[in-house]
A and B are shown apart, each in its own frame.
Chain A
């Protein structure tokens, strides 16, 4: 299987300064697991100037498509990490989903209504491509030592770091990490070595997942069937991926035999029946990869344990409906790395990392809640649940309110961290969806007459976003408000203006289509303090320097 993709085989190496069997080597930051989450962590840390040792026991990328859908917010993070274009160019962009019940369409939906965002609602891309592009990006960052075939066999946490015993083809070594990011997946051997577990719910259902190569003119849409004639009593999900590879998930039920269901003679008739149902009798296909999976919704009680930080599936797992696994893992990294960087540089107290735990366990709870509800809708676990689901689907064919209740997966959206201790509560009135704790909303802008995007201009530092129509008049405002000198954390000024202009010490963006002003409910003089992960820390109509200083200190965990 897998005829279309050639797996790279990456060479093994040792971390810098490591000689097998000789003493204990030291590294300020070690990441375990070179999947999407660990690779993103290494890239983000390296972009901030940290040296990173990234360990992985294997020497290639993900087998089979696995993680599949990347949501708009995740793509925005990938842009910051320098891989957004590669992913979007290769992937399949889609905005439309269709839901079918039995033999008819119940409704269809659009994720985004506008070309007023840089990134689409969703891009589908096989996980092996995603990992390959992240590895390519790592290769351009000399701060990262990506060590394939380096298997952690023991981990011991101490007050000043974590000691790892590592086996490689070139011998074994011991490594003392000041900080450790654990991103070695759902089974997370390192989590177990450190003595931690994830708790939650196992779902009694099995799903067949198949990557299928075929030339079919299905549109690039998400199709979900409840109880279709070709697979009665169960659900089916179809997604298009890159290279004319289609991903099909068949719900099998708890009693299915996973080994028997994986056999081609079992899988092929299921796919044939689906194609015949859609009238594609002549379409030929071949199997690229097949697996049968069960899933759990669970998380660790805390994602920070001293000097060890847990991210992605190692910290939390969800059911696949809603694409909330890989997407939330990338958002963990977005949240974690700027904090860890400030702490490692002594610019913020270690307690800032407790906000990673607080913010991302809250996000994990939201993801688990949503994916659990989707799973309960898709797999009714009682006659009552079955009856309510059937009623919802029947009403949904006629009435909009019931369409909103059909739950075939609530697709990944970022968590608004409204309750975070890093936020400064509003003292001024704003009338928009965004609040302190919300992720920024992108908007089309122009810079020096060239079209661009607001998020593109944000960089990876704290930003003060000032809305004005008179940029030339504001030199003194910037000086008056500048929180420099109050701490060691630097901020950048970005000015958003309806008129073109220049201002020394600031990037000036022109809000030519007024999307930015509208999305941020901005008036003359409105200021937003933006965190390095593009979340809103605070905002004011007319702040003074003391307010800005206090909000910045709060956002840094002081």
Chain B
């Protein structure tokens, strides 16, 4: 498995015909989770979340690629391209 860089969110509980709905829902719920937290508490929440997701992914080659991408190293030859129906 390689690090997935294409849209990959799926709302298995509330399906929608529109692809953006699932990632938008996650984004909103992520920010909701931070609601009312101090700066330190927010950072701690993010750290716990990353650890949970990292364990779920498990595979170190994938996690290492993600670490490099998060540190703004170019990990794949992708350039801004046409996105269909992602308005």
Contacts and interface: CB of A to CB of B under 8 A. Distances in A.
Given A105-B80, A113-B84, A438-B17, A407 B24 contact: yes
A392 B20 CA distance: 14
A397 interface: yes
Interface residue SS majority, chain A: mixed
Given A373-B28, A388-B31, A400-B6, A111 B80 contact: no
Interface string A398-413: 1111011101011101
Interface in B23-63: 23-24, 27-28, 30-31, 34, 37, 39, 42
Interface residue SS majority, chain B: loop
Nearest to B8: A401
Contacts of B34: 382, 384-385
B82 A108 contact: yes
A417 to B, nearest CB: 11
Given A394-B72, A400-B5, A401-B6, A109 B28 contact: no
A191 B19 CA distance: 36
A370 interface: yes
Contacts of A105: 80
B36 to A, nearest CB: 10
A318 to B, nearest CB: 15
A13 interface: no
A385 B31 contact: yes
A159 interface: no
B7 A401 contact: yes
Given A97-B87, A373-B28, A404 B19 contact: yes
Contact of B83 (A370, A404, A438): A404
A196 to B, nearest CB: 29
B87 to A, nearest CB: 4
Given A97-B87, A370-B24, A409-B87, A398 B31 contact: no
Contacts of A438: 17
B77 to A, nearest CB: 10
Contact of A400 (B7, B18, B20, B31): B7
Contact-size category for A: 35 or more
A261 B20 CA distance: 35
A354 B42 CA distance: 44
Nearest to B6: A400
A400 B81 contact: yes
Contacts of B20: 404, 407, 410
Contact of B80 (A107, A383, A404): A107
A373 B27 contact: yes
A492 interface: no
Contacts of A106: 80
Contacts of B39: 383
A398 B34 CA distance: 26
Contact of A109 (B17, B23, B31, B86): B86
B13 interface: no
A110 interface: yes
A111 B85 contact: yes
Contacts of A385: 31, 34
Contacts of A121: 87
A397 B80 contact: yes
A514 interface: no
Contact of B81 (A97, A107, A392, A404): A107
Contacts of A411: 87
A42 B72 CA distance: 57
A6 B79 CA distance: 47
Given A399-B69, A404-B23, A433 B82 contact: no
Contacts of A413: 18
A361 B8 CA distance: 30
Given A109-B86, A403-B83, A438-B17, 14 more contacts: A97-B87, A106-B80, A109-B87, A110-B85, A111-B87, A388-B31, A392-B27, A399-B69, A403-B86, A404-B20, A404-B86, A407-B20, A411-B87, A416-B17
Considering the complex of A and B, which 7 residue pairs feature the smallest CB-CB distances, nearest first? A411-B87, A404-B7, A107-B80, A384-B34, A399-B5, A109-B83, A401-B7
29 contacts: A97-B87, A105-B80, A110-B83, A110-B85, A111-B85, A111-B87, A121-B87, A370-B24, A377-B27, A382-B34, A383-B39, A385-B31, A388-B27, A388-B30, A394-B72, A398-B76, A398-B79, A399-B5, A399-B69, A400-B78, A404-B19, A405-B23, A405-B27, A410-B18, A410-B87, A413-B18, A416-B16, A416-B17, A433-B17
